[in-house]
Structure 1
Amino acid sequence: MKSINESDFRRLDLNLLLVFHVLLHERNVTRAAARLFIGQPALSGALKRLRAAVGDELFVRTSHGMTPTPRALELAQVIEPLLLSLQQALQARPAFDPARAERVFRIGLSDALEVALMPQLMQRLATEAPGVRLIASAADRTTAPDQLDAADIELAVGVFPDCAAWHRQRALFDWHFVCVYNPALVKARGKRLTLKEYLRHPHLLTSFSADLSGLVDELLREQGLTRQVVFSSRNFATNPFIVRQMAAITTVPTFAAATWRDALGLAVSPLPFDTPRYAVSLLWTAARDGDPGLKWLIALIGEVFGGKPVD
């Protein structure tokens, strides 16, 4: 395929092609000017520039109006289909057929959401869109907006309380904190831990700031209480394997707890004190509103996970 030499177009205003098209069909300067919503002098000036660019008179005034020259008729065979194709391309909305599509989507989310959501989503993709692939990148409420704006990811999943005006958001489900432990090692009198039982054991913390204190510790301090945090990590993945072998407790979102309970046989208990509820949502930029593939993926994720709180 030959490359386009931009210097060949320096003398030609591409708007002149539309002038050529209208004159070719109207064969009259006055009618052509009216059709283009410009004055007759402006159209005459445009025709002058077009003639200079092509090196041909193109249209000659005769008793039958503005008659195209042989060179104009030759050019028309190229320009007319070109303008028609351009019009169709600008008006047509690109389609996305998931069954046939070959595309890679980049999604930003936490490792806990990745574990909770990706297995079911990948199962749906394997059935409905086998050519679609996903790349998951680490993202949270502080990093995801910049990653979207830089086009490092196309979609983010998480808790996003503050969004820019150019971001779009779709709610999926709510979550709150619960605690997870090995029932063979952490003994509870009932199906839920009491405050005394909760504070008796060491704790594992997931902290994006790599600290030994988090929201739960702030809530406990308000009651004059403290817990013993013996391990902190930025990642969720390690904690369930620690609590399987150690008489310890980890406090995590409900969607993570449900995954660990089902996969590892751990126990899940409500917290013995109140904590806030949060909304997980999808986030993308307004610049991608016209992307049919991304629209399809957003709709699919909304269908699978929307409105279904993970307990």
Structure 2
Amino acid sequence: MELSEVDLNLLLLFQRLMQERRVATVAEQMNMSQPGVSNALAKLRRLLDDPLFVRAPGGVVPTPFAIRLAEPVSHALSTLHAALNPETGFDALRVTRKVTIGMTDIGEVVFLPALVERLSREAPGIALNTVRDTSVNLGNEMAEGRVDLAIGLLPQLKGGFYQRRLFDQRYVCLFRRGHALEDAPLTLAAWRKAEHLVVVSAGTGHGQVDDWLKRRGVQRRVRLTVPHFMSVGYILQRTDLIATVPERLALQLAAPFSLSLRALPSTLPEAPIHLLWHARVNQDEGNRWLRNVVIDLFADSATPARRTKSV
């Protein structure tokens, strides 16, 4: 038998008869006439090729087949009811789920320590997973539900997404403590003369620093180029190289790697860092709760969420 052959109302009637064992009572509960209940039961009997219920003193009794059928039918109807009527009130302390966030290596350094610490206290059943926004098609992954949130400078996420600006990322100069530039004025000439560690983070918004410098003809003595930010602290700690990096990353690296940071001698454009989520989860209570945690931890000011424009 195919499910398309079965009317859901017949299964509801079957469940009620199993519980009440009286046609008159079921008719009243389901706002039907007794002949209507009898006709519906007759249809179900034909579909299942079993009497299901037989007359007995005071009502009806189920057949052995009906008894075997009762538990799976009840479970199926209960599952369907729960899916159509989800409980309200997200309980972070009791929820168990896996959450995937798209972010860069900078994001992992800047956001994850505080976020994991907060979740350990307030939502210990949430397991975090991160993906690089450059290693997957982030828009598709979020639209299809495999990535829940994204944090960063992500201009490629346009139609169908909501975004909330967290802060404007400033850039600073980072170098080891005891470097010749630590006590001397950091002039543009001194900055240009120093040997630089440059991060070419393909596919991220941080490439705008190099683009901005090139457009203005600002030359640097590039000694080393690396494809990501994860090695920056280790390299600067043991060399005289300097690096131009996002300020929040510099603040995270300074103490563990004995580094100093200074304002740049030339003002670079700030990078707007956003929290983004797909429209499909905008009303999801768990996603909303997690968004609020991220905003509480990292947002500079209370700017409202807005939906990105379609393309």
Normalising to structure 1: TM-score of the pair?
Answer: 0.71
For 1:107, the equivalent position in structure 2 comes to 101
Superposed counterparts of 1:254-265, under 5 Å: 254-265=247-258
1:109 and 1:204 mapped to 2: Cα distance?
22
Residue 126 of structure 1, aligned match among 120, 126, 143: 120
Which segment is superposed worse, 217-226 or 153-162? Answer: 217-226
For 2:191, the equivalent position in structure 1 comes to 198
Which segment is superposed worse, 83-92 or 117-126? Answer: 83-92
CA deviation string 1:219-252 (max 9, x = no partner):
3333333112222222101122212222111111
- Checking the alignment, whether the CA contact within 8 Å between 1:111 and 1:138 is kept in structure 2 is yes
For 2:209, the equivalent position in structure 1 comes to 216
1:228 maps to 2:221: yes
> Helix, strand or coil for the counterpart of 2:170?
strand
Superposed counterparts of 1:173-184, under 5 Å: 173-184=167-178
Report the CA distance shift for 1:27/1:267 in structure 2 as closer, same or farther (over 3 A). Answer: closer
Report the CA distance shift for 1:258/1:308 in structure 2 as closer, same or farther (over 3 A). Answer: farther
> Helix, strand or coil for the counterpart of 1:301?
helix
Normalising to structure 2: TM-score of the pair?
Answer: 0.71
Aligned residues between the structures: 278
Structure 2: stretches of 5+ with no match in the other structure: 17-25, 53-58, 303-311
1:84 and 1:135 mapped to 2: Cα distance?
32
> Helix, strand or coil for the counterpart of 1:215?
helix
Residue 251 of structure 1, aligned match among 239, 244, 255: 244
CA deviation string 1:228-287 (max 9, x = no partner):
222222210112221222211111111111111233231212222222222222222222
For 1:144, the equivalent position in structure 2 comes to 138
Residue 295 of structure 1, aligned match among 274, 288, 293: 288
Report the CA distance shift for 1:273/1:96 in structure 2 as closer, same or farther (over 3 A). Answer: same
2:4 and 2:99 mapped to 1: Cα distance?
38
CA deviation string 1:171-221 (max 9, x = no partner):
22221221111241232555x6210011001111111239xx953343333
2:78 and 2:119 mapped to 1: Cα distance?
37
1:69 and 1:273 mapped to 2: Cα distance?
88
For 2:21, the equivalent position in structure 1 comes to none
> Residue 238 of structure 1 aligns to which amino acid in structure 2?
S
> Helix, strand or coil for the counterpart of 1:273?
coil
- Checking the alignment, whether the CA contact within 8 Å between 2:201 and 2:207 is kept in structure 1 is no
1:279 maps to 2:272: yes
Q: Tell me how far 1:94 sits from its aligned partner.
A: 5.0
CA RMSD of aligned residues (A): 3.9
